[in-house]
Amino acid sequence: MNVNGYEIKQDANLRGAILRDAVLEGANLRYAVLEDANLRGAILRGANLRGANLRYAVLEGAILRGAVLEGANLRGAVLEGANLRYANLVGADLEGANLRYANLEGANLEGADLEGANLRYANLEGANLEGANLTGTILEKKEVPQDNTSLSQKVKELEEENEKLKSTLKSLKALLDT
């Protein structure tokens, strides 16, 4: 995998690496050693981190949507505000991990070890926690607005604005081409 001109191989030893805001989308980091690594704000969407060692890694605000973290060691990792929507965390070790404000919507945490993990204000909507160890886990429900009409209206407005911007961009491109 090429990241800013550097080749990263499966099983790589990146212990303590500073990969803050790195774009590692779809990366194959299977069994990589990322212990104590700083991945704050990194984009790891769809990355393969199966069996990776992320013990004490900082993944605050990282985007791990759809990432495969099956059997990964995330003990004591900081995942505060991380996006783990639809991530595969089957059998992952998240003992003592900080998942405050993390988005775990639709994530598969089957058989995961969450002992002592901080899930305060985390979004667990649709998450699979079957067989997960939740001993001593800190849970506090995230407040969800009751009125979704204003949210859907805002989404519609943003989509309309996006279409207008696309049209403007297309017109500008046509002007530049003439």
Per-residue pLDDT tens for 42-101? Answer: 999 999 999 999 999 999 999 999 999 999 999 999 999 999 999 999 999 999 999 999
At residue 149, the 3 state secondary structure works out as helix
Phi and psi at residue 139, to the nearest 5°: -120, 135
Please give the Cα distance from 162 to 156 (Å, whole number).
10
pLDDT at 4: 47
Please give the Cα distance from 123 to 56 (Å, whole number).
22
Average pLDDT, the chain: 88
Task: Evaluate if residue 19 carries a pLDDT over 90.
Answer: yes
Please give the Cα distance from 72 to 95 (Å, whole number).
11
Q: What is the mean pLDDT of residues 150-159?
A: 73
pLDDT at 165: 75
Q: Which helix (H) or strand (E) holds 160?
A: helix 149-177
Residue 28, Cα to own-chain centre: how many angstroms?
15
pLDDT at 145: 52
pLDDT at 150: 63
pLDDT at 5: 45
